[in-house]
Amino acid sequence: MKKDIVCQQEVFGVIFENIVSSPLEVKTKALAIFLFQGKPLDVSFKPIDQALDGLINNLLENKEFRGEEEETYIIPTLGKLKAERLIMVGMGKEEDFNHDTIRKAAAYLVKAIKKIAIQEYVAMMPEFVNLDEKTLARSFVEGTIMGFYDFKIYKTEEKEKNRKIETVKLMWSDNSKIKKANEGKKVGEVIANAVNYVRDLGNQPANVMTPSRLASEAQKLSEEYDNINVKIFSLDDSVKMGMNLFYAVAKGSNEPAKFIILEYNMNREDLPLYAIVGKGITFDSGGLSLKPSEGMESMKYDMCGAAAVLGIMKAAAELKLPIRLVGVIPATENMPSGSATKPGDIMRSYTGITVEIVNTDAEGRLILADALGYVSKNYKPRAIIDLATLTGACVVALGHYASGLFTKDDSLAEKIIKAGEKSGDRVWRLPLWPEYYEKIKSDFADIKNVGGRPAGAITAAAFLSKFIVNNVSWAHLDIAGTAFVDKERAYIPKGATGAGVRVIIQFLLDEIKIRNRNKSV
Ligand code: BES
Ligand code: ZN
Ligand code: ZN
């Protein structure tokens, strides 16, 4: 089914296996162990230390290896162990241990492995940490797959580099752990592969990742998964339905715009319905409110919300989540031209609100307004969550370490924040108080699309909230700072990061758990 390279990780196809063995028995090119900083050697490592004549303890005592985050140390075992090498991986201080520690350690291990050309390694699971086997296996697999990622398909020389590793084994102390570990492995594989898929979509340049290409990616998902349907509306169709804000952005571009709808499990009316909406600006030049040329190339990432929606749909189908899910992607370029929207133009939205477009570079909120109006009117989901690289102001507020969360629903906020912490795809809430709405009042229309510089991320979210009808619960994730980065860290590569996938999938998994719990009482 894989027609062309979309997700490199799947092409390289690392196989994960949960095995039961012991550090003295396991035969491998490299055995990895995980250690906390400043902690005496765990009992489970004592046999290894003895076999190596006390070398590990020595290294710890001499502070040659400290166990700090990011630290790895490779020891050739010279026949003293059946494993040819021992790789020590730091997890940082035990008191700082959190849900992300294992993911990061797994990714730093990948970096060490990449330097030595081996096809296979075994990681001894740190069963002494405060995580159940399922979560431990899931986190390790996620960190490994996300850590392997790089985008080299246009690098003529480096294309083959990643093909080296074929098998990664997770080693456990006894059989009772394997069932849960296998469950965790599967979930981790699905989620991390979806993240890497989203990264691939995001990293593609705008001449490749056009609105039509986003539509064909959606189409491919529907061919691959029986229970995903796709509907694709042209710009003409969208205008006939009344989506004039979407039209206002699309009309300046020569690339055909697409309004894409994906539905998962839609015939299962017994299942609760959720909706996700993603900003699909495949290139944001700013339109007539043209952006400065410096850094404009990064506006190819302005479709990362759309990519996240595709990744979430794919993961939901692979995990066979017992929910219904609708994904909506308004996809277009934002370009200046003779047919482009002019600052000051007024348009009527899908829901009937008139909007004065004072700045054509605030285009994301325009296309999302019609998409949010469309979903909240035509579907009655329990919640709509939109994902958008919406404002530079959000990057100023939160940097690259958390997505902005905006919602009036406190319970939804709490759930999304928790899902963010668990998944490592963190969000931070900002307010939507009535005062902010003053800023988007227009002299000539119902509202205008920009509320000035102060609180730019909030006024953008306030604008979006105006287009939700039927009182549907709604949350907005501004992923402008998290969707792409220019400095790599642990399992986050340079370029597109896949932000939004992990937090939303975790949110949905938690929702399913809550529902099952309520059903059984
Ligand atoms: N796509 C941008 C936001 C953005 C900025 C994403 C930086 C990622 C990194 C968005 O369409 C935009 O141009 N927003 C303007 C809004 C302004 C005109 C009110 C911005 O943030 O400057
Ligand atoms: Zn813009
Ligand atoms: Zn934009």
What does pLDDT average to over the chain? Answer: 96
Ligand 1: which of 298, 334, 363, 391 to mutate, judged by most atoms within 8 Å of the beta carbon?
391
What atom in ligand 1 is closest to the CA of residue 456? 19
H helix intervals, 302-359: 304-318
Of 324, 365, 426, 439, the active-site residue reads 365
Quick check: is 103 catalytic? no
| Residue whose token pair is 């609105």 | 211
For residue 520, what pLDDT is reported? 77
Of 145, 105, 103, 194, give the one whose Cα is nearest residue 500.
Answer: 194
Digit-coded pLDDT (tens) for 164-182: 789 999 999 999 999 999 9
Percent of the chain past pLDDT 70, that is, above it, reads: 96
H helix intervals, 170-266: 178-203, 211-224, 235-241, 244-250
The pLDDT of 386-410, averaged and rounded, is 98
Digit-coded pLDDT (tens) for 60-99: 999 999 999 999 999 999 999 999 999 999 999 999 999 8
What atom in ligand 1 is closest to the CA of residue 302? 1
CA of 362 to the centre of ligand 1 (A): 6
For residue 160, what pLDDT is reported? 56
For residue 439, what pLDDT is reported? 98
Percent of the chain past pLDDT 90, that is, above it, reads: 94
CA of 5 to the centre of ligand 3 (A): 26
For residue 69, what pLDDT is reported? 97
Torsion over CA: 287, 291, 296, 299 (sign): negative
Identify the residue whose C-alpha is closest to ligand 1 atom 7: 392
Digit-coded pLDDT (tens) for 123-150: 999 999 999 999 999 999 999 999 999 9
* 373, 463 contact by CB (below 8 A): no
CA of 392 to the centre of ligand 1 (A): 5
Ligand 1: which of 282, 283, 304, 390 to mutate, judged by most atoms within 8 Å of the beta carbon?
390
Quick check: is 66 catalytic? no
Is the model's pLDDT at 255 over the cut of 90?
A: yes
For residue 70, what pLDDT is reported? 96
Ligand 1 contact via 357 beta carbon (within 6 Å): no
Q: How far, in Å, CA of 6 to CA of 488, rounded? A: 21
Q: How far, in Å, CA of 320 to CA of 366, rounded? A: 33
Pairing of strands 324-334, 345-348: unpaired
Of 316, 408, 335, give the one whose Cα is nearest residue 416.
Answer: 408
Identify the residue whose C-alpha is closest to ligand 1 atom 3: 391
Q: How far, in Å, CA of 359 to CA of 221, rounded? A: 35
In angstroms, the Cα distances linking 364 to 257, 389, 427, 473, 479 are: 14, 8, 20, 20, 12
Digit-coded pLDDT (tens) for 310-331: 999 999 999 999 999 999 999 9
Give the up-direction half-sphere exposure of residue 59: CA atoms within 13 A in the CB hemisphere.
22
Walk across the sheet containing 447-448 and list its strands.
345-348, 354-357, 447-448
CA angle 142, 148, 153 (to 5 degrees): 130
H helix intervals, 429-499: 434-438, 456-465
Digit-coded pLDDT (tens) for 261-316: 999 999 999 999 999 999 999 999 999 999 999 999 999 999 999 999 999 999 99
Tokens of 449: 């699309």
Q: What is the DSSP string of 245-294?
A: HHHHHHTT-SSPPEEEEEEESTT-TTS-EEEEEE-EEEEE--TTSPPPST
Digit-coded pLDDT (tens) for 449-468: 999 999 999 999 999 999 99
Ligand 1 contact via 456 beta carbon (within 6 Å): yes
What atom in ligand 1 is closest to the CA of residue 281? 1
Q: How far, in Å, CA of 23 to CA of 125, rounded? A: 11
Task: Give the Cβ contact number of residue 506 at 10 Å.
Answer: 22
For residue 162, what pLDDT is reported? 52
Q: Cβ neighbours of residue 43 under 8 Å, at least 6 residues apart?
A: none
For residue 203, what pLDDT is reported? 98
Tokens of 365: 């909120």
Is the model's pLDDT at 189 over the cut of 80?
A: yes
Torsion over CA: 450, 451, 455, 460 (sign): negative
Ligand 1 contact via 361 beta carbon (within 6 Å): yes
CA of 363 to the centre of ligand 3 (A): 6
Beta-bridged to residue 489, according to DSSP, are 492
Q: How far, in Å, CA of 507 to CA of 194, rounded? A: 15
Q: How far, in Å, CA of 166 to CA of 179, rounded? A: 23
Is the model's pLDDT at 5 over the cut of 50?
A: no
Is the model's pLDDT at 159 over the cut of 80?
A: no
Digit-coded pLDDT (tens) for 191-218: 999 999 999 999 999 999 999 999 999 9
